[in-house]
Chain A
Amino acid sequence: MKTRSACILDGAPRDVPALDDAVRHVVKTLDERGWTTTVQRLREMEIAPCRGCFACWVKTPGECIIDDAARDVARAAIHSDLLVYVTPVTFGGYSSTLKKAVDRMIPLILPYFTFVGSEVHHIRRYPTAPNLLGVGLMPERDERQERAFRALIRRNSINFHAADAEVCLLHEGSLDPRSSIVAALEEVTAE
């Protein structure tokens, strides 16, 4: 049986112990289940923001013209069975550190439009796409931001053609963050 792999994007803008722990829990849980894992610590990588030039669609199809670490992130993401975003929930979405890498993933889809349900979206470029897990850390409960974060993960999964997506929301001082992460991973990695 093929070993399954996960690509974990650590979107912490600086050292945040609770996010470091979350990354460790994700890696440990997957390791115990026989997965291979790679962690991309985005704050230590040179990643320029997307220029909005669409060259990745109409000049160098499938690859961003900016030659930096975002290319490696996109390559690792599309080769994985599971893509995990770990981020402080920032205004109900991702940190700018994570978002920079996510914005540079549009080469993974085609420019062409199609219908997904009743909505227009871009066609997939590759035959398969990783499932998506969003692990978000919040200082405290905030229903509005939690709703936005869940919606964002769900919308991203539609746009990147993920077959399944899950969200795990952690709150600083959570007594047992590992259990929440394990439960979310079980959902999103179920065959």
Chain B
Amino acid sequence: MTRTLTVLIGSPRGLDRSNSAALSRILLDAFDESVWTIDWIHLHEAVGSKDAAAKLVAEVTNSDLILFAAPLYVDSLPAPAIEAFERVVAARAGRPDDAKTPRFAVLLNCGFIEPRQNATAVEICRVISDAAGFEWFGDLALGGGGHVTGRIRKALREAGASLANGFPISPDTRKRVRRPVMPKLLYVLGGNLMWRRLAKANGLTKEALLGQPYV
């Protein structure tokens, strides 16, 4: 029997250019396409019109498994992702007792080096899961701005294998990503160099980058 997986991408960069989608693709390696029908939805588009929102609700309601992948935005989820779940929860409020209970797994990534900075957003996702009547199937919360090391790749594949075989993401897999992907000081120095380079490529000096336009 075919099963349905809906991948909800909560990054403004969408299905092609986001770390959320790239990380999801690694996790989905374990999903056998003869068993799983996989639908992708970009939540920023899903809240853009009534039709798109209705399609989101219908797809989510018919899913066996939902993978929600998003970047950390100011200690929480990006606003359009919250809006999408506000709509899903409202639409599912009056669902019949025998309605399907989709499984809900979460893949978060943040631009800080410490994966634990995702903690508040993970908790928000757990509340969403309960409010929407989903079954919580675990989370993988990554730090390091989408940096994929061998250890992270392995964890993503393990998580994918668990989900594809009907199991939640295991505590061991979650533990594998708890450690930062590199020493913190290296991340700070490398990150700061990257920002300077990006600014320089835009013709900005180091001083201009520190601008205070609202003084």
Contact = CB atoms under 8 A, between A and B. Distances in A.
Using C-beta atoms within 8 Å of the partner chain, give the interface range for chain A.
Answer: 35 or more
Interface stretch (A33-41, A53-61, A165-173): A53-61
B73 A103 contact: yes
Interface in B6-28: 11-13, 18
B187 A49 contact: no
B32 interface: no
A156 B121 CA distance: 12
Interface of B: 11-13, 18, 44, 71, 73-80, 82-83, 85-86, 112-114, 117, 119-120, 123-124, 127-128, 131, 184, 187-188, 191-192, 195, 198-199, 201-202, 204, 208-215
B173 to A, nearest CB: 24
**In the complex, the 9 A-B pairs of residues with the closest C-beta atoms, listed nearest first:** A96-B83, A99-B79, A100-B79, A155-B75, A61-B211, A111-B195, A96-B82, A58-B198, A52-B12
Contacts of B191: 112-113
Nearest to B128: A91
A148 to B, nearest CB: 5
B28 to A, nearest CB: 22
Residues of B contacting A: mostly:
helix
Interface of A: 13, 49-54, 57-59, 61-63, 74-75, 78-79, 90-96, 99-100, 102-103, 105-106, 108, 110-115, 119-121, 125-126, 144-145, 147-148, 151-152, 155-156, 159
A93 B184 contact: no
Contacts of B204: 58-59, 61
A91 B187 CA distance: 32
27 contacts: A49-B78, A50-B12, A52-B12, A53-B12, A57-B198, A58-B201, A61-B199, A61-B209, A61-B210, A74-B214, A91-B85, A91-B124, A94-B82, A95-B86, A96-B80, A96-B86, A99-B82, A102-B74, A103-B78, A108-B214, A110-B210, A112-B192, A113-B188, A114-B188, A144-B127, A155-B117, A155-B120
Given A58-B199, A102-B74, A148-B127, A113 B187 contact: yes
A114 B187 CA distance: 10
A74 B75 CA distance: 18
A119 B74 contact: no
B82 A91 contact: yes
